[in-house]
């Protein structure tokens, strides 16, 4: 225990088990050792420990890290409250009395807060790397499908044709926003709490700027109370996970739809699908469904921590121990989901000509015809009404736009001429788009090239 001098009895075994966080904060072992090594170096620098004591402490911490990585030491939850007390106990076994000086001028409050900030900054880098890989895979598929037509939807009803490239570029944009949120959290976590003590700093001559610089933070925290009680950077990191998982869930839902017999647009590879225990013919998109399902768990983690923090007075309260489990779980889930989504897209096959004929035999180009009327001087509301009457006419005659001739158009309105029939050419529909950000193949290709240049 890191405390206990004023207690006559030891903590009840069931209380220790209930309060122990070792099972999950062991994830912080590298960060905790880093914090302790830098703290020891600072104590030596300011003259609070001798050079010999510093060297013993530093060598002992390195040995503990090596022992853990090589499986030679495993702390037990039945003996230790958390990873911090476990490391200190093992250090005392290795170097003896000098261990007692490591905690000089330090509380677990600022120690844990510093370790969490280091962990968050590290994991954010990992997430960003995986998101870039996902973007690159989306772009690689997009390069091959600039003119692959698919129906665009609103209200899950066919609306206007787009290309698969344009569709995937929408996810590239989403992921880019995910990266920007991550960058924000990285900046938010970029201050060092070490030196804040339990809540009110220290009367010892600690050098917070030295430790902050050693950790790679931009500066020490400006307020010791806020430093040990701030968990906003964790909440914001969970928000990154939640929004990122929401984006992956939307993508997963579309992969699920596209792989159905009804769509027949893509085939997911065997490596990322499963079968049925009863029905031999089944090929189920289970991995995509799991991404969709795990999204709810990540949402819940964010709300759980919000609830834990909502009524806490300054500064530190033990409730804050509940910040770690949800953040570790959320990032583990998010990173694995990104990897699975990337691999599903990279290995799927696409039925490139799936929708060309089908889209020709419908009314998906109705807006194009309305725009043609606008260019002839018809007010849009009237043009909308005219095309609507044409759709009704076709439905009554059981025909589609492909079957419509100039005589049919003249029955609806005399302004129509032969060139209006060009609006029904599905293959040229995307090329007629003029606006920036539209699925015009030339514009899409430019966007792809800009993204490739940006992402490398």
389-404 pLDDT per residue, tens: 999 999 999 999 999 9
Query: Residue 4 pLDDT more than 70?
Result: no
Question: Is the same domain home to 85 and 113?
Answer: no
Q: Of 354, 383, 414, which closes a domain?
A: 354
pLDDT confidence of residue 450:
98
State pLDDT tens for residues 147-201. Answer: 999 999 999 999 999 999 999 999 999 999 999 999 999 999 999 999 999 999 9
Beta bridge mates, 267:
349
Does residue 252 belong to any structural domain of this protein?
yes
Does residue 426 belong to any structural domain of this protein?
yes
Query: Residue 114 pLDDT more than 60?
Result: yes
Question: Is the same domain home to 404 and 284?
Answer: no
CB 448 within 8 Å of CB 169:
yes
Annotated catalytic residues are 155, 276
Question: Is the same domain home to 445 and 362?
Answer: yes
Q: Determine the Cα–Cα distance for residues 334 and 328; give it in Å rounded to an integer.
A: 10
* Cβ-based burial of 10 (10 A; exposed 0-12, middle 13-18, buried ≥19): exposed
pLDDT confidence of residue 3:
44
Take residue 183 and report the two structure tokens written for it: 């960058």
Q: Of 83, 104, 125, which closes a domain?
A: 104
* Cβ-based burial of 189 (10 A; exposed 0-12, middle 13-18, buried ≥19): buried
Question: Is the same domain home to 269 and 346?
Answer: yes
Take residue 200 and report the two structure tokens written for it: 């009110």
Query: Residue 63 pLDDT more than 60?
Result: yes
Does residue 210 belong to any structural domain of this protein?
no
Residues 6+ apart with CB under 8 A from 222: 191
Domain with residue 383: its CATH number is 1.10.40.30
Domain count, the chain: 3
State pLDDT tens for residues 66-91. Answer: 999 999 999 988 888 899 999 999 99
CB 287 within 8 Å of CB 272:
yes
State pLDDT tens for residues 239-261. Answer: 999 999 999 999 999 999 999 99
286: containing domain: 109-205+222-354
Phi/psi region, residue 283 (left: phi>0; alpha: psi -120 to 50; beta: rest), is: beta
Question: Is the same domain home to 17 and 135?
Answer: no
Q: Of 330, 354, 378, which closes a domain?
A: 354
CB 252 within 8 Å of CB 292:
yes
């Amino acid at each position: 225990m890191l405390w206990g001098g004023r207690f006559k009895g030891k903590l009840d075994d069931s209380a220790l088990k209930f309060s122990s966080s070792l099972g999950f904060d062991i994830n912080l072992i590298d960060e905790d050792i880093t914090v302790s090594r830098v703290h020891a170096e600072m104590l030596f620098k300011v003259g609070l420990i001798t050079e010999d004591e510093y060297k013993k402490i530093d060598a002992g911490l390195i040995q503990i890290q090596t022992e853990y990585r090589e499986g030679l030491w495993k702390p037990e939850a039945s003996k230790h409250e958390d990873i911090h007390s476990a490391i200190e106990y093992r250090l005392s076994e290795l170097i003896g009395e000098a261990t007692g000086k490591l905690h000089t001028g330090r509380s677990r409050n600022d120690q844990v807060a510093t370790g969490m900030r280091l962990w968050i900054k590290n994991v954010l880098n990992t997430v960003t790397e995986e998101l870039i890989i996902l973007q690159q895979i989306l772009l690689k598929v997009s390069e091959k499908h600039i003119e692959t037509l698919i129906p665009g939807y609103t209200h899950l009803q066919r609306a206007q044709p787009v290309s698969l490239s344009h569709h995937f570029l929408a996810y590239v944009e989403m992921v880019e926003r995910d990266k920007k949120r991550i960058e924000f959290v990285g900046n938010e976590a970029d201050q060092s709490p070490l030196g804040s003590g339990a809540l009110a700093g220290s009367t010892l001559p600690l050098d917070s700027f030295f430790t902050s610089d050693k950790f790679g933070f931009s500066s020490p925290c400006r307020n010791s109370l806020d430093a040990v009680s701030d968990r906003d950077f964790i909440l914001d990191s969970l928000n990154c996970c939640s929004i990122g998982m929401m984006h992956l869930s939307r993508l997963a839902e579309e992969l699920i739809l596209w792989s159905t017999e009804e769509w027949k647009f893509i085939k997911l590879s065997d490596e990322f699908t499963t079968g049925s225990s009863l029905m031999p013919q089944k090929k189920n998109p289970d991995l995509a469904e799991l991404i969709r399902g795990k999204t709810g768990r990540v949402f819940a983690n964010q709300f759980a921590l919000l609830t834990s923090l909502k009524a806490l007075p300054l500064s530190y309260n033990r409730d804050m121990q509940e910040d770690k489990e949800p953040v570790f779980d959320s990032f583990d889930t998010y990173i694995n989901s990104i990897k699975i989504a990337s691999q599903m897209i990279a290995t799927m096959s696409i039925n490139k000509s799936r929708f060309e004929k089908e889209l020709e035999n419908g009314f998906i180009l109705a807006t194009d015809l309305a725009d043609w009327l606008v260019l002839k001087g018809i007010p849009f509301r009237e043009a909308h009404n005219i095309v609507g009457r044409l759709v009704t006419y076709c439905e009554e005659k059981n025909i589609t736009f492909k079957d419509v001739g100039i005589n049919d158009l003249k029955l609806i309105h005399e302004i129509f001429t032969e060139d209006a029939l060009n609006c029904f050419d599905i293959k040229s529909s995307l090329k007629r788009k003029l606006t920036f950000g539209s699925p015009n193949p030339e514009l899409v290709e430019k966007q792809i090239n800009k993204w490739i240049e940006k992402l490398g």
